[in-house]
Amino acid sequence: MVSIIAVFLVACLQTLSAQQAYAVDKNIPHLRQQGAATQLIVDGKPFLMLGGELGNSTASDMTYMKPVWPVLSAMNLNTLLAPVYWEFIEPEEGKYDFTLVDSLLSNALRHRMRLVLLWFGTWKNSMSCYVPLWIKKDYNRFPRARDNNNKSLEILTAFSEENLQADILAFSALMKHIREVDKAHTVIMVQVENEVGMIPVASDFCKSANEAFIQPVPQELIRYLQQKKDSLQPEIKDRWAQRGFQTSGSWEDVFGISLATDEIFMAWHYAVYVNRIAAAGKHEYPLPMFVNAALNRPGAKPGQYPSGGPLPHLMDIWKAGAPSIDFLAPDIYFGDVARWCNLYHRPGNLLFIPEIMRGTNNAAYVFYSIGRHNAIGFSPFSIESTECPEEDRLTAAYELLTQFSPLILEHQGRSTMAGILLNKTDPFQTLELDGYRFNFSFEPLDRYAFKGNLTDSAFATGGIIISVAPDEFIVAGSGIIVTFESALADNMNVGIGSIDEGRFEKGKWIPGSRLNGDQSHQGRHMRLPNNRFSIQRVKLYRYQ
Ligand code: DGJ
């Protein structure tokens, strides 16, 4: 009898997928909800990624990488986003070589850095430049996307099971390898593909794509639209509404005849393809997985930008087609950063910025995105190219955020924290927290030379405010002046009890200078100077 039970138990264990088996291991990095925020949990604790992404080719040579690691450490990064190239890991079909991945892992461990791996698989910025040469050359077996003139492109089509299976095998091998070798959980997330999107046409016109286009809209998508009808993003809801919320028919029946419909069709097929890769990878090792988007310029039409990618106006299509993808993320190279943050931090989608153009403003954007949008991380692109890393404003911002992150993580999702972003076009911001109204204004670099011409001050400033106790707040950042009012209908004035500048050591507040007199404008305001980053704790009181 005992042996029958034993055989039964062994059989049960064998049928447990790797995903089920590993899902019970709480040490595997995963996402967890805290109030309104989704947090990334690493080693059992919430983690804030102070990151940077490598330039595309930097990780292709271990020798080239050698001087890069000290730069990353000098900039106070705790996470590196690094590509994994399909052409390198599978140079011959079915023969895997993880030398570069292993080198990334061991060096990251040595430099106490976590990794987010970027899977440069079927697509990298729309194109298929990272697929191995044995795939590129065998274009009959691995078919290409075509434009509307039937010209074949350097893009593998999403409408080929052969293409998909080849990527699934390689990505699964990668995830299995990470699971086997990365006992320290150095790899904390994986990006599946890179900036997926169709260009220079809004959708693929190869034979299989054309056949798929005249098929009915898949029932899974219709079901999703019906179930979420009240909470759909307006971009999709409005299109569907214009067609009377049709629940069957072709893509053009359900969404209308337009380029936008071509793009929706493409988004669905990209999402389904990427989802199957992510699901297969998670089956081997269930790390959080995401996709990144090349953003569309305002007014650009589908086909003029990488179309069908994980863009805000296609978020519902991606959510419906790719449930194994945990979130969609913006690569911000132009436009209003606050606007993009708003478009990605939506119900059902957390904010992570895997790429942003390097620049002085990033020291403000990192505070804002974390404080205002509970971002789980921030990562300028080509971080290793930073000139004078020690003097970069981001280095100082990351140092301060490193001290401060336990408090931030404690307050994420709890309505006790807010972000501040000021610049020459938006120099004032007001917000309310725990019964007080805070008026923030832009502190230009040289306040005495400043004559009201905000163009004098080149960069944005930002910070985070946290309510830490009744009448007590911590403000951290740079280039901010704060005044205080009552937000209650009590007709009271608000005065400054005290302001201390200090530090966090191992999560504990260590007060330093008491800032009064000139430093608080004789008790009129709180000031975080622009030429450095500081943390200040203010006690307020009310009087008549
Ligand atoms: C966005 C891509 O995701 C990156 O890999 C890189 O190509 C940058 N654009 C631009 O250099």
Per-residue pLDDT at 456: 46
Q: From ligand 1's centre to the CA of 125, what distance in Å?
A: 7
Question: Any bridge partners for residue 219, and if so which?
Answer: none
pLDDT at 425: 84
Ligand 1 neighbour 193 (Cβ under 6 A)? no
Is the beta carbon of 381 within 6 A of some atom in ligand 1? yes
Distance 186 CA to ligand 1 centre (A): 24
Q: Is 73 helix (H, G, I), strand (E, B) or coil?
A: helix
User: Measuring from atom 2 of ligand 1, which residue has the nearest CA?
Assistant: 125
Q: Is 355 in the pocket of ligand 1 (CB under 6 A)?
A: yes
Q: Long-range contacts: 467-472, Cβ < 8 Å, 24+?
A: 467/416, 467/417, 467/433, 467/434, 468/407, 468/537, 470/434, 471/497, 471/539, 471/540, 471/541, 472/537, 472/538, 472/539, 472/540
Q: What is the DSSP letter of 415?
A: T
- pLDDT of 447: 53
Q: What's the gap in Å between 476 CA and the centre of ligand 1?
A: 31
Q: For residue 80, give both structure tokens.
A: 């590196």
- Distance, CA 382 to ligand 1 centroid (Å)? 9
Query: Which of 127, 196, 291, 331 most suits a substitution to test ligand 1, by most atoms within 8 Å of the C-beta?
Result: 331
End-to-end CA distance of the chain: 83
Q: Which of 53, 54, 56 to mutate to test the pocket of ligand 1 (most atoms within 8 A of CB)?
A: 56
| 3 state SS of 67 | coil
All CATH 3.20.20.80 domain ranges of the chain, comma separated, are: 4-221+251-403
> Taking a C-beta distance cutoff of 8 angstroms, is the pair 395, 67 a contact?
no
Q: What's the 383 CA to ligand 1 centre distance in angstroms?
A: 12
Nearest CA to ligand 1 atom 4: 56
pLDDT of 281 reads 98
Which of 60, 81, 194, 353, when mutated, tests ligand 1's pocket best, judged by the most ligand atoms within 8 Å of its CB?
194
Q: Are 28 and 185 in contact (CB under 8 A)?
A: yes
Q: Whose CA is nearest to atom 8 of ligand 1?
A: 381
pLDDT of residue 450: 47
126 CB near ligand 1 (under 6 Å): no
Going from the Cα of 91 to the center of ligand 1, the distance in angstroms, rounded, reads 23
The preferred substitution site among 193, 195, 296 for testing ligand 1, maximizing ligand atoms within 8 Å of CB, is: 195
CA 315 to chain CA centroid, nearest Å:
14
The crossing angle, in degrees rounded to 10, of helices 393-411 and 362-373 is 10
pLDDT of residue 11: 40
Nearest atom in ligand 1 to 294's CA: 1
Q: Do residues 362 and 380 lie in contact, with contact meaning Cβ atoms separated by under 8 Å?
A: yes
**Span from the CA of 332 to the centroid of ligand 1 (angstroms):** 10
Separation of CA 333 and ligand 1 centre (Å): 9
Atom of ligand 1 minimally distant from the CA of 195: 3
Tell me, what amino acid is at 447? R
Beta-ladder partners of 480: 442, 528
* Token code pair at residue 136: 């590129």
Alpha helices in 246-373 (DSSP H): 251-255, 259-284, 315-321, 337-344, 362-373
Atom of ligand 1 nearest to the CA of 382: 11
Q: Which of 54, 119, 381 to mutate to test the pocket of ligand 1 (most atoms within 8 A of CB)?
A: 381
User: Do 187 and 180 meet the contact criterion of CB atoms below 8 Å apart?
Assistant: no
544 residues of the chain, pLDDT tens digit each? 334 444 334 343 444 445 455 555 789 999 999 999 999 999 999 999 999 999 999 999 999 999 999 999 999 999 999 999 999 999 999 999 999 999 999 999 999 999 999 999 999 999 999 999 999 999 999 999 999 999 999 999 999 999 999 999 999 999 999 999 999 999 999 999 999 999 999 999 999 999 999 999 999 999 999 999 999 999 999 999 999 999 999 999 999 999 999 999 999 999 999 999 999 999 999 999 999 999 999 999 999 999 999 999 999 999 999 999 999 999 999 989 999 999 999 999 999 999 999 999 999 999 999 999 999 999 999 999 999 999 999 999 999 999 999 999 999 999 999 999 998 889 999 999 999 999 999 986 655 544 554 444 568 999 999 999 999 999 999 999 999 999 999 999 999 999 999 999 998 999 999 999 999 999 999 999 998 999 999 999 999 9
Q: Given this model, what pLDDT does residue 1 score?
A: 39
Q: How many helices (H) and strands (E) does the chain have?
A: 17, 23
Which CATH number is 4-221+251-403 given? Answer: 3.20.20.80
Identity at 40, one-letter amino acid code = L
Ligand 1 atom 10 nearest Cα = 381
Question: Where are the strands (E) in 470-518, listed by range?
Answer: 472-478, 480-486, 493-505, 508-514
Kindly give the residue spans of alpha helices, DSSP state H, lying in 329-382. 337-344, 362-373
What is the per-residue pLDDT for 446? Answer: 54
Q: Is ligand 1 within 6 A of the CB of residue 195?
A: yes
pLDDT in the model for residue 13: 41
Q: What is the CATH number of domain 417-543?
A: 2.60.220.20
Residue 336's CB is within 10 A of a number of other CB atoms, namely: 13
> Is 331 close to ligand 1, i.e. is its CB under 6 Å away?
yes
Our answer on whether the CB atom of 147 is closer than 6 Å to any ligand 1 atom is no
